[in-house]
């Protein structure tokens, strides 16, 4: 091999060496550059998990006062506002940890007597600052924890008037009015209790000493939904509440009806309701709810307009004793029953005046027979050329005006507030449809949901692969040229073998 040729080989070797080293350096650099985005993505994922848990915490603990989607109920403030989103983190943490002294806002941290851990409170702060309230609303509804809106009801006028015939009747009337405005949402119609709070109209409670009852109402029960009322009610009013609670057996049942609460639905809950209806109810009530020989029609105008959601829920939960209608409360969760009621309710728009009972053998319910089946309530509107999005927007608008009408039919001031609360939710729903379309939302959510194309290429792996390949090639080339540089006739080691 000539001198010149050897020089060339050397040069090529050097260049290849430099290139390979460069490849390795690039690989390391790329890895370092990628690190922050990787961290960001990981943080986004942690936040998403936190927010997911926080929505359930919110549903279980806060929705009863702060509303379905953080919109606030009557005088209780909203949580879905920019003021709180940009509020100092520690300040917000403190409010939730310790509550607000002398208001209905209880302390939530375990160290202050509440039910939540430090971490859970932090998750709630994340929800308030970064969360999606429409998603939270869906969570609350799907868990069957939608709060009673309106929060309040009105005493039955006839029974209310008859209270004046009792001893201290005026005091009882005052208490009944306060109870219907402030306590009924949790403690239920006629004080008989709900899933949120125990019955107060109960012989065991009547045995509690008046002083103790007064203390509970004044100070609340730390760590539960029972807030302190001493800043909301006067001493006389609290005295009246104690009188009512200890003498409730003298007050006629029906004096304080349940608030007329429309059950809120989501796409998911309607689908669930439809499938539960098919598997549990249609054999008696017919596949379209038009009735059979075994049970009356539910899908008829008269029944649906006269029976509020709460009443249907109660019928389904308790059954009709002495008839074939079972009590479903024993075998179905409240959330499932509400899903069915929501499903039954959306027949109202198209329900016939007179039902045509199914005679059986129709080949199954319509949603199983037809893949394009749309709930009847929506079919007419879809037929009229409306898009699903328009329909959703209209439903939101209807919910808004419906809530408003409820709130303004002569209800107490809280009632009017309710109407506005519901209207706000309706608008939120519409906004949500819009923002949903344009894909805005919290930055981390976009990062997770819609990565840019170059983000889907894993730079780290590619650099390592290329670097590794380069090194491997270099080794092959060096080895090959070393062999070539050693001619068999040269005076090297080879000779010793010959």
Which residue ranges make up the site for ligand HEC (CB under 6 A)?
61-62, 64-66, 76-77, 79, 84, 92, 95-96, 100, 103-105, 108, 124, 182-183, 185-187, 196-198, 200, 205, 213, 216-217, 221, 224-227, 229, 241, 245, 280-281, 283-285, 294-296, 298, 303, 312, 315-316, 320, 323-325, 328, 340
Pick between residue 174 and residue 463 the one whose CB is nearest to ligand HEC. 174
DSSP 67: -
210 or 451, CB closer to ligand HEC? 210
Q: Closest separation between CB of residue 375 and ligand HEC, Å?
A: 15
Kindly tell me which of 103 and 427 has the beta carbon lying closer to ligand HEC: 103
**Minimum CB distance to ligand HEC smaller for 9 or for 230:** 230
Residues 411-433: b if buried by 16+ CB within 10 A, e if exposed: bbebbbbbbbbbbbbbebbbebe
User: What is the closest distance, in whole angstroms, from the C-beta atom of residue 216 to ligand HEC in the complex?
Assistant: 5
Given the complex with ligand HEC, which of 140 and 295 has the nearer CB atom? 295
Task: Quote the least distance from Cβ 280 to ligand HEC, whole Å.
Answer: 4
- For the bound state, the minimum distance from the C-beta of residue 46 to ligand HEC, rounded and expressed in Å, comes to 20
Question: Helices 118-130 and 3-61: crossing angle, nearest 10°?
Answer: 100
Distance CA 281, CA 364 (A): 13
Straight-line distance from the first to the last Cα atom of the chain, in angstroms, rounded to the nearest whole number = 21
| Smallest distance from ligand HEC to CB 372, Å | 25
User: In terms of CB distance, is 144 or 430 closer to ligand HEC?
Assistant: 144
Least Cα distance to 117 among 87, 96, 134 occurs for: 96
Instruction: Reduce the DSSP state of residue 82 to 3 states and report it.
Output: helix
Please, are residues 420 and 407 in contact by the beta-carbon 8 Å criterion?
A: yes
Please state, in angstroms and rounded to a whole number, the distance separating the CA atoms of residues 206 and 187: 15
Among residues 336 and 381, whose Cβ is nearest to ligand HEC?
Answer: 336
State the CB neighbour count (10 A cutoff) for residue 407.
23
Task: Convert 187-212 to b/e letters by CB count within 10 Å (16 or more is b).
Answer: bbbbbbbbebbebbbbeebeeeeeee
The candidate with the shortest Cα–Cα distance to 308, out of 276, 336, 256, 345, is 345
CB of residue 21 vs ligand HEC: minimum separation in angstroms?
Answer: 56
Give me the least distance between CB of 213 and ligand HEC, in Å please.
Answer: 5
């Amino acid at each position: 091999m000539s001198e010149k040729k050897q020089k060339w080989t050397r040069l090529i070797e050097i260049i290849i060496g430099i290139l390979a080293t460069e490849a390795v350096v690039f690989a390391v650099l790329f890895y370092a550059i990628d690190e922050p985005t990787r961290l960001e993505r990981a943080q986004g994922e942690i936040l998403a998990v936190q927010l997911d848990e926080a929505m359930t915490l919110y549903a279980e603990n806060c929705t009863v006062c702060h509303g379905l989607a953080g919109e606030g109920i009557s005088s209780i403030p909203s949580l879905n506002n920019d003021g709180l989103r940009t509020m100092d983190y520690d300040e917000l943490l403190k409010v939730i940890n310790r509550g607000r002294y002398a208001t209905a806002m209880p302390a939530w941290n375990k160290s202050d007597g509440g039910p939540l851990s430090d971490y859970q409170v932090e998750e709630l702060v994340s929800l308030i600052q970064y969360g999606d309230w429409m998603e939270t609303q869906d969570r609350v509804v799907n868990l069957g924890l939608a709060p009673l809106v309106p929060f309040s009801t009105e005493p039955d006028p006839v029974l209310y008037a008859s209270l004046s015939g009792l001893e201290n009747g005026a005091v009882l009337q005052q208490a009944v009015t306060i109870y219907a405005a402030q306590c009924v949402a949790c403690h239920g119609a006629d004080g008989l209790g709900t899933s949120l709070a125990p019955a107060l109209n109960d012989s065991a409670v009547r045995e509690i000493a008046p002083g103790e009852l007064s203390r509970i109402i004044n100070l609340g029960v730390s760590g539960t939904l029972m807030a302190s009322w001493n800043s909301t009610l006067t001493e006389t009013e609290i005295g009246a509440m104690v009188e009512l609670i200890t003498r409730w057996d003298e007050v006629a049942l029906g004096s304080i009806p349940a608030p007329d609460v429309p059950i809120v639905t989501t796409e998911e809950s309607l689908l669930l309701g439809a499938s539960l209806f098919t598997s549990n109810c249609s054999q008696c009530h017919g596949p379209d709810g038009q009735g059979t020989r075994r049970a009356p029609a539910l899908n008829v105008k008269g029944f649906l307009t006269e029976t509020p959601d709460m009443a249907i829920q109660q019928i389904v939960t308790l059954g009709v004793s002495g008839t074939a209608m079972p009590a479903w409360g024993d075998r179905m969760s409240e959330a499932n029953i509400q899903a069915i009621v929501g499903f039954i309710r959306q027949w109202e728009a198209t329900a016939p005046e007179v039902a045509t009972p199914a005679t059986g053998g129709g080949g199954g319910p319509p949603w199983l027979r037809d893949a394009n089946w749309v709930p009847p309530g929506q079919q007419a509107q879809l037929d009229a050329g409306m898009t699903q999005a328009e329909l959703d927007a209209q439903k939101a608008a209807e919910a808004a005006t419906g809530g408003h009408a409820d709130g303004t039919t002569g209800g107490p001031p809280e009632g009017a507030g309710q109407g506005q609360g519901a209207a706000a939710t309706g608008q939120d729903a519409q906004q949500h449809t819009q923002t949903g379309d344009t894909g805005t939302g919290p930055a981390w959510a976009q990062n997770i949901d819609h990565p840019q194309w170059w983000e889907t290429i894993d730079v780290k792996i590619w650099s390592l692969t290329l670097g590794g390949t380069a090194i491997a090639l270099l080794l092959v080339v060096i080895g090959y040229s070393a062999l070539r540089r050693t001619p068999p006739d040269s005076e090297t080691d080879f000779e010793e073998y010959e």
